[in-house]
Every structure is written in C-alpha cells, then in structure tokens.
Amino acid sequence: MQLRPMTQSGLSRPRVVVAEPFAEHGLAVLRDAGIDVDSQVGRSRAELTAALADADGLIVRSETRVDRELLAAGPKLTVVARAGVGVDAIDVDAATDAGIIVLNTPGANTIAATEQTFALMLALARRTPEAVQLLRQGVWDRKKLIGTELFGKTLGIVGLGRIGGNVAQRARAFGMTVIAHDPYITAARADAFDVTLVDLDTLLRRSDIVTLHVPLTPQTTGMIGAAQLALLQPHAYLINCARGGVIVERDLLEALDANVLAGAGIDVVAIEPPPPEGTGAALHSHPKVFSTPHLGGSTHEALARIATELAQDVARVLLGAPANAAVNAPVPDGPEAERVFPFLDVAYRLGRFYPQYARSERLPQFTLVLGGALADVPSEALVRAFLSGLLQATTDRRVSVVNAEAIARELGITVDARGDARESSYAASLKLIGGDVAIAGTSVGGSPRIVELDGYEIDATPVGAMLITRHQDVPGMIGRVGTILGDAGVNISTMQVSRNTVSGDAIMVLSTDRPAAEAEVAALRAIAGITSVRVLDV
C-alpha cells in the first residue's frame, strides 16, 4: 500500500510520544516507517503533557490516565494507542469528540492472560506460593499443604470473550464443568465452548472457582460486591485477571475474613500501583490472597506481538491508511472483514480526490455504490472512511474516521450508500456519485485504484500528487504536457490517457513526484486544445 504522512503539519515527519515501556522492535517499526519516537517513559505527568504539544501519536499501557485534559494538551494528536486490550484508562468519548483514533491490540495478550488465570487457579488449588514460602523458611510440611484438584470442579466464567473463551477451552481439558455469565454473547458461542450460560447469581452459587474476564465499564464496575460474594460457596475461590474495579475490594477483604469464600487470586487492583494504606495493598498482604502485580499480559511473546501489531497500526494511521483495530471506529469482523478492509483506503482516497477534482462551490449529496462482492457488506465503515477523506480535504478541523460522521451531520452532508452486485465490472468496486461527477475505484493487491472517471476508463493510483487534464484528442498533447513538466523539473511517475471517441475529448491522469506549481499549471493551460488542468494532493 502506498502511504503518505497524514499529519497536520503536512509532509513533516510524524512524531509519537511513548509514555510507558514498549518493546524496542515496536519502536523500530515506527522509525522504519519514517516516524520520530519521543520516549517519555518514567517522566512526570507534567513532562508528558508538555511533550504532547506537537505530537501526532501517543502510546500508553494501563498506567497512563488519558483523560480529556491530557488529550487537550495534544492539539495535533491523531492517534492514542493502547499497547494491550483494556482502554478503561482512556477517555474514549473525549478522544472521539476530538477526532482522535484510539487503537488497541485485541487478542495479542489473550493467551498470556489466559495462562495467568490458570497460574493463579492452580496456585490457589495447590497452595504453591505458600509451599514455596515455607520451604524458603526451611519448613517441610506436606500435611499442611494438601491441595484440591481442578478435575471435576465447576468453573464459573464471567465474560466469555476472547480470554474467557480460551479459559473455557483449557478448563474443559482439565476435566472441569464450565458455566458462564455473559449477556452479550450468542448461545452458539457458548455451545462452541461447551459452556452453559447462566445468570450471575446462579454462577456464583454453583461455581467452585469463579474467574472474571469482563472489561471495566460502568456496568461492570463493582459488579462483585458483598451481595454477590455472599452467594459463593465457602470453599470457592475467586480469580480476577480482568480489572481491579470489577470487585468492591473492601467487601472482598471482609468476605475473606468472614470465611465467605476460601481465597482469591488477583492480578489486578483498582488503583495500580496500590497506595500502601489502600484496599489493594491490603489484598496483596492478605493470607488468603495470592496476587501478582498485573502480569496477565506480560509474557515475552505477548509483548512482542503487541509491539509489532500496535506499531504497524500506528504507522498505518499516521501515514494515512485505515486502522486495523480502532476502538472508536470499528470495522466489520469475520468473513466480511477481508472484503471490506482493502476498500477502506479506496473510500478514503475517493473522499480526498472528489473535492479537488470536482471543484464545485458546494458539496452535493453523495451516493456510494458498493459494487460486485461488496454489495452485501455493511457500509458504515466505508462511509466513515469516505467522509474522513472528504472532510480532511475540505475543512481545517481535525477530522478522522471517528468524528467524520458527526462533522458531516453538522455540515448537512449526506451519503446514500447502497449495494449493487451488478454495478461492477471488477470483482468489487466503489462508485462515488456527487453532482455530475462519477468516480469508480477498486483495490488491486491492497493498493487503491481509480478505474473510471466521468465515463473515462483509467487505471490510476489516487495517492500523493496528481495532475489531471481534459483536452482535445489530437496528436502531440502528451508530448507538450510532458515537455512543460519535464522542463520545470516535475517528474512524472505514471501516466494514463483515455479517450472518448464520440466527443473527441480525452483525459490525462498523471502521478507526479511533487505537485505542479501555479506557473507550471498556467503553462499547461496555455496549450491549445487543453480545456482544464487540475492539480490534486490525494
């Protein structure tokens, strides 16, 4: 895919501030893509705030609170990237309002968090940390340390998403019965994991071990408090590798002291790192709690995966391509993703191309025809990509896929998207109709192409500097245009000519290494037979 920097400072090198540890090879991916990296790891919030003044991107993990105030310190910010899954420390709504794309790496640490869940589960069941501690003190006591088996026990999973699903699969291999509570998944997903879906109270009553795998949201904050803990069996264990805030920590401490449950394995606490006098620290030192300092996602493999995936996605966004994993601008997943994804860039380029080519006083109402194999895919992500390109080329505002629709609504711009399987002579295509202009695009090997422009068949890559002439179809035109541009030092990288045999007109579509300057355009316009010259920066 051909890319160009999409920063507000035009063609200057984008700059990314890294606020928390991020694997070196991820930084190398950014630098190789022409992005400057500014490490603020370990610096104060004031220093981080100052560093954002001219930053295009920000990379964080779970310890940086990315609130409205911090976002406001970065007027050029295009992307906030979370190296991991949970985005609860990021004000995603504030980012969306500001047109900032929030990325994460869903799935990259799923296995790590799943295995950490089992590490805590087995540690609790076999009392391993206690055994290690006693042996370190020289105590050999086998009777005191008799454990329990996972085999035959009931595991209750709260949140049957990526991690919950992986935990379920492995629990079945241990010979456990698995029940789950997740109001947002289908029965088919539960069946696929051989899991019975139940309500939360039933899960708490029936489980020998309860494990939490929900995101921290307003609905899940404090979802396990005194009333829920009271439903547990006295021999039950509670595991939390999700977020500390899902549990009311004070209630858990009291329940442990009152033998309401047998123990807890926790990787996360509500405030990290926990202040010494808080409930998080009290849990860490509680004799019935085995805890780890938020290590669920911290394996070499997961961190390497995260660094590569995130750096590539940050580079894609900063270089003008659609994101793979934008939290606030989702693209379809499943089988449709493969069809839609290459066309996000086509839609975006059509958006940038249109106003520079059409030059109409007012933007018309648009129609976007999803042709061929695109006819039955959801159009939302394609419309967002189109609008972000269109508005970036027509407004001074910070526009991206996350706020393009809202801005378009404000400006009264509408897009009527419809599928038409018969529309395309390509396997799949997008046709944009606006006023009396019609442009069709497709994707070839991941590269956007314009294949039809106002009835002319062409094959042009709408990326970077372009020059389009309309002229009479007479001999010598190509030579004259080429000579003027050559004399001016404008290198032509590709040239397409297409003719209309009925009208006797032709179109020439050039990609140039730099946009032609006004004087050069004036010289082209002066060629007899040339009716229009347009310079575009797509």
Ligand X SMILES: NC(=O)c1ccc[n+]([C@@H]2O[C@H](COP(=O)([O-])OP(=O)(O)OC[C@H]3O[C@@H](n4cnc5c(N)ncnc54)[C@H](O)[C@@H]3O)[C@@H](O)[C@H]2O)c1
Q: Which of 267, 309, 313, 520 contacts ligand X by CB under 6 A?
A: 267
Dihedral of CA 303/309/314/315: which sign? positive
| 268 in contact with ligand X (CB under 6 A) | yes
Q: Which of 26, 244, 274, 297 contacts ligand X by CB under 6 A?
A: 297
| 355 in contact with ligand X (CB under 6 A) | no
In the complex, residue closest to ligand 3PG by CB: 84
**Edge-first strand listing for the sheet containing 154-158:** 196-197, 177-181, 154-158, 209-212, 237-240, 263-266, 289-291
**Per-residue string for binding with ligand X, 207-236, x by CB under 6 A?**
------xxxxx-xx----------------
> SS in 3 state form for 198-260?
CCHHHHHHHCCEEEECCCCCCCCCCCECHHHHCCCCCCCEEEECCCHHHECHHHHHHHHHCCC
From the list ligand 3PG, ligand X, none, partner contacted by residue 511 (C-beta under 5 to 8 A by kind) = none
Active-site annotation holds for 243: yes
From the list ligand X, ligand 3PG, none, partner contacted by residue 423 (C-beta under 5 to 8 A by kind) = none
Q: Cα separation of 71 and 77, whole Å?
A: 8
Token duo for residue 220: 């899940």
Amino acid sitting at position 75: P
**Per-residue string for binding with ligand 3PG, 202-231, x by CB under 6 A?**
------------------------------
What part of residues 450-509 is at the interface with ligand X (CB under 6 A)?
none
Q: 534, 537, 497, 530: which is closest to 513 by C-alpha?
A: 537
What part of residues 76-115 is at the interface with ligand 3PG (CB under 6 A)?
83-86, 109
Residues, the chain: 538
* Residue 14 DSSP symbol: P
Rounded to 5 degrees, φ, ψ at 415 are -130, 120
Of 51-59, 228-236, 238-246, 326-334: span binding ligand X (CB under 6 A): 238-246
From the list ligand X, ligand 3PG, none, partner contacted by residue 215 (C-beta under 5 to 8 A by kind) = ligand X
Quote the Cα angle for 350-79-108, to 5°.
Answer: 105
Q: Cα separation of 510 and 465, whole Å?
A: 8
Residue 120 vs 439, nearer CB to ligand X: 120
Q: Cα separation of 195 and 82, whole Å?
A: 31
Active-site annotation holds for 213: no
Element (H, E) at 532: strand 530-537
Rounded to a whole number of angstroms, the minimum distance from the CB of residue 60 to ligand 3PG is 9
Active-site annotation holds for 272: yes
Rounded to a whole number of angstroms, the minimum distance from the CB of residue 123 to ligand X is 15
Dihedral of CA 202/203/207/209: which sign? negative
| 370 in contact with ligand X (CB under 6 A) | no
| 297 in contact with ligand 3PG (CB under 6 A) | yes
Q: Which of 162, 339, 384, 449 contacts ligand X by CB under 6 A?
A: 162
From the list ligand X, ligand 3PG, none, partner contacted by residue 61 (C-beta under 5 to 8 A by kind) = ligand 3PG
Q: Which of 291, 298, 379, 461 contacts ligand 3PG by CB under 6 A?
A: 298
In the complex, residue closest to ligand X by CB: 161
Residue 83 vs 314, nearer CB to ligand 3PG: 83
From the list ligand X, ligand 3PG, none, partner contacted by residue 242 (C-beta under 5 to 8 A by kind) = ligand X
Q: Cα separation of 429 and 399, whole Å?
A: 25
Pair 212, 164: CB distance under 8 Å: no
| 160 in contact with ligand X (CB under 6 A) | yes
Q: Cα separation of 210 and 233, whole Å?
A: 10
**Per-residue string for binding with ligand 3PG, 50-69, x by CB under 6 A?**
-----------xx-------
Give the interface with ligand 3PG as residue ranges (CB under 6 A): 61-62, 83-86, 109, 294, 296-298
- Active centre residues (catalytic): 243, 272, 294
